[in-house]
């Protein structure tokens, strides 16, 4: 239809035809009103993008869309177009985008379960159910923006580690949404949110505390109230520095006592061998093989591994007066004893199966520092000489260091 200013009177006067008809505004290029064969009147904006004509729907004639409000919306859309956006494409994203709650299920089914380890899948599911879905689940994936993510992350500030893990999972999901055509490429707002600083929880058992733990385990064995395999598993954890998941899933077929090692087909860092010291070998050699059960640390159910170790540990650590010690701290304690004994960080990393050198660096302050030890030796010799005591500079040899 011939261009004229779109007013309420002009729109009401439009007559329906056998197909869609358009009336274009004489004052704002691209702004128009469509009348369908059924008589519906709909405000639209037509524009060009990449050499192609695009049309975006504003809304039907009638509250809240009057000619004036539709004109204001058209002006705002034209501003977005001038800034490089494509409103029609955005609307298309919106129509096919699921909510984050719906997308989370697809993420677990199509990415996490086939590609991640079971323990990681369980952790993803926990974060999704307890944290992400309650806060962002109703939002469409395509609508999640920097403000949403910043507020989400900030609300978790009291638990910075959990906040950062949740943000990392959300970022991974949005990256997948881009790859799967549910968001524009490069639109992930998580990359603009700064992570919280994390304080690593460093807890090592002292020599005295190791004695307390040993006494508590011996007492538990004497009382006979705790499963024998659970007590053995705790002893094995502290004697080897292995991860809880590696111990619970340990099968007899993975134990090579002749070569003094475990041959784990899978772990957090992939397949690996774990060296066994004499006490660990003796512990394994003394354990019974339960018929029809392949697991070293067997459970009560036929053919199943030990479960509920955290509950046993809670009672044992209570007896040992070690209430703030986690099972994972036994792994830290194994490493700390090695570091304080002068074993190199490279060797400790190999024993623990660390993939990154930086992971082992947390024990650096415990290891024997040859330079510090040398300075201490020289200063003690000088002090003795200044006090008139017999002083003899001895040939210095740093424990565990390179001469």
CATH of 207-365, one of 1.10.760.10, 3.40.50.1970, 1.10.4190.10, 1.10.443.10: 1.10.443.10
User: In this structure, what token pair is assigned to residue 166?
Assistant: 């949740």
Fold of the 100-192 domain:
DNA polymerase; domain 1 (1.10.150)
Contact status, residue 166 vs residue 131, Cβ threshold 8 Å? yes
Tell me the C-alpha distance between 224 and 217, whole Å: 11
Tell me the C-alpha distance between 114 and 336, whole Å: 36
Tell me the C-alpha distance between 298 and 307, whole Å: 9
Residues of the chain with CATH 1.10.443.10: 207-365
Averages of pLDDT over runs of 10 residues in the chain (403 residues) are 82 92 93 94 92 91 92 93 85 81 95 89 94 94 92 94 95 94 89 85 82 92 92 90 88 90 77 83 91 90 89 93 88 77 68 64 57 60 61 47 38
Helix (H) or strand (E) holding 237: helix 228-240
Residues of the chain with CATH 1.10.150.130: 100-192
CA distances 23 to 30, 49, 72, 339, Å, are 10, 21, 17, 81
Note the pLDDT of residue 396.
42
**b (16+ CB within 10 A) / e for 54-85:** bebebeebeeebebeebbebbeebbeebeeee
Tell me the C-alpha distance between 247 and 305, whole Å: 10
pTM above 0.75, yes or no: no
CA distances 354 to 197, 276, 334, 337, Å, are 22, 16, 14, 17
Note the pLDDT of residue 399.
46
Tell me the C-alpha distance between 144 and 103, whole Å: 12
Reduced to 3 states (helix: H, G, I; strand: E, B; else coil), residue 193 is coil
Residues of the chain with CATH 3.30.160.390: 8-88
Does CATH place domain 8-88 in 3.30.160.390?
A: yes
- Nearest alpha carbon to residue 173 among 127, 222, 232, 234: 127
């Amino acid at each position: 239809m011939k261009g004229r200013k779109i007013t309420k009177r002009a729109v009401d006067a439009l007559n329906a035809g056998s197909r869609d008809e358009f009336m274009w505004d004489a004052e704002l290029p691209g702004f128009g009103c469509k009348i369908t064969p059924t008589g519906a009147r709909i405000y639209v904006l037509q524009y060009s993008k990449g050499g192609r004509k695009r049309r975006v729907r504003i809304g039907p004639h009638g509250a809240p869309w009057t000619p004036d409000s539709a004109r204001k919306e058209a002006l705002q859309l034209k501003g977005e177009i001038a800034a490089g956006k494509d409103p029609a494409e955005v609307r298309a994203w919106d129509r096919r985008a699921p909510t984050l709650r719906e997308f989370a299920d697809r993420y677990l089914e199509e990415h996490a379960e086939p590609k991640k380890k079971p323990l990681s899948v369980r952790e993803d599911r926990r974060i999704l159910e307890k944290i992400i879905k309650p806060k962002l689940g109703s939002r469409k994936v395509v609508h999640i923006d920097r403000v949403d993510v910043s507020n989400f992350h900030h609300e978790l500030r009291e638990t910075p580690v959990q906040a950062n893990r949740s943000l990392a999972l959300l970022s991974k999901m949005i990256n997948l949404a881009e790859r799967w055509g549910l968001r524009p490429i490069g639109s992930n707002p998580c990359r603009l949110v700064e992570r919280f600083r994390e304080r690593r929880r460093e807890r090592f058992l002292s020599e005295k505390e190791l004695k307390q733990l040993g006494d508590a385990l011996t007492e538990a064995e004497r009382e006979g109230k705790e499963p024998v395999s659970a007590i053995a598993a705790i002893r094995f954890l502290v004697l080897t520095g292995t991860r809880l998941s590696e111990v619970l899933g340990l099968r007899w077929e993975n134990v090579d006592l002749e070569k003094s090692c475990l041959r784990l087909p899978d772990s957090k860092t992939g397949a690996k061998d774990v060296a066994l010291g004499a006490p660990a070998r003796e512990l394994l050699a003394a354990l019974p093989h339960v018929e029809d059960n392949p697991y070293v640390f067997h459970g009560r159910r036929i053919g199943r591994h030990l479960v509920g170790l955290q509950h046993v540990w809670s009672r044992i650590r209570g007896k040992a007066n070690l209430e703030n010690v986690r099972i994972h701290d036994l792994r830290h304690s194994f490493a700390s004893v090695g570091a304080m004994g002068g074993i190199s960080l490279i060797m400790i990393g190999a024993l623990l199966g660390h993939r990154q050198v930086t992971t082992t660096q947390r024990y650096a302050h415990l290891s024997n520092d040859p330079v510090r030890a040398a300075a201490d030796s020289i200063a003690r010799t000088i002090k003795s000489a200044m006090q008139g005591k017999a002083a003899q500079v001895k040939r210095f040899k740093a424990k565990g260091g390179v001469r």
